[in-house]
């Protein structure tokens, strides 16, 4: 609805539709992905911690990094499906309105860069749930972190699209570092946090 109203307002004012569409396009994708990551990560990590399912998994032969990586991939996959559906819906809307299509940098940012940073956010949330005893503290930190990151991105959504390869490689690097950081946590430490 907001996208349609902005489009019609912009057409009436003869504004630069390409800039408006790029801004709305990336903002929409970012909001969908960040909200998806926030809610799905919370369900996957917090509910399993509350139900003591995570302690049962840790009692088995799997390592923490295997469990953590599987949960992060599940969150990423679910939110990526929503992102692709949003991308296709937005492209159909753009074609219907005969507006300018996003360039390759905008498309790469929407389909690659934003999801990679969403994976980093998922890993960060998971790491917080593994290290902090009080769930309320984790939720508070998560909400502040997501609020700050979404506000920063929504204020400047085109920053990331200027250099998508740098942001993508940086996101992959941070994701790998977080994965190795989690591999250094031992099961006993996590069990003390869970109990």
- pLDDT, one tens digit per residue, over 116-142 is 888 888 888 888 888 887 878 888 888
78 touches 40 (CB < 8 A): yes
Q: What is the pLDDT of residue 153?
A: 65
**Token duo for residue 119:** 């994976």
Helices marked H in the chain — which ranges? 2-13, 17-41, 48-50, 53-59, 64-96, 104-108, 114-131, 135-155, 157-162, 164-183, 187-194
Reported as a single tens digit per residue, the pLDDT across 137-167 is: 888 888 887 777 766 666 666 677 777 788 8
Reported as a single tens digit per residue, the pLDDT across 17-53 is: 667 777 777 877 887 887 888 788 878 887 777 777 7
d(CA 145, CA 135): 15
The model's pTM is 0.81
Residues 6 or more apart from 30 whose CB is under 8 A from it?
114, 150, 153, 154, 157
Domain boundaries, the chain: 2-194
Reported as a single tens digit per residue, the pLDDT across 67-113 is: 888 888 998 898 899 888 888 888 888 788 777 777 888 888 888 88
Centre a 10 Å sphere on the Cβ of residue 21 and count the other Cβ atoms it contains: 23
d(CA 174, CA 155): 23
Q: What is the pLDDT of residue 96?
A: 84
Statement: residue 9 has pLDDT above 60: no
**Token duo for residue 48:** 């399993």
28 touches 3 (CB < 8 A): yes
């Amino acid at each position: 609805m907001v996208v349609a109203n902005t489009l019609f307002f912009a057409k009436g004012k003869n504004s630069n539709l390409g800039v408006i569409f790029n801004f709305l396009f990336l903002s929409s994708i970012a909001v969908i992905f960040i909200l998806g990551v926030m809610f799905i990560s919370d369900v996957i990590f917090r509910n399993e911690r509350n139900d003591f399912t995570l302690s049962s998994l840790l009692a088995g032969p799997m390592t923490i990094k295997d469990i953590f990586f599987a949960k992060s991939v599940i969150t990423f996959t679910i939110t990526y499906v929503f992102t692709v559906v949003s991308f296709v819906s937005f492209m159909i809307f753009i074609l219907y309105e005969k507006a300018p299509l996003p360039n390759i940098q905008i498309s790469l940012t929407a389909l690659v860069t934003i999801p990679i940073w969403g994976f980093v956010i998922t890993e960060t949330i998971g790491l917080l749930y593994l290290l902090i005893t009080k769930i309320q503290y984790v939720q508070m930190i998560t909400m502040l972190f997501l609020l700050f990151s979404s506000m920063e991105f929504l204020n400047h959504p085109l920053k990331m699209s200027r250099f998508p390869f740098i942001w993508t490689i940086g996101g992959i690097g941070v994701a790998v570092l977080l994965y190795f950081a989690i591999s250094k946590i031992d099961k006993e430490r996590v069990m003390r946090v869970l109990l």
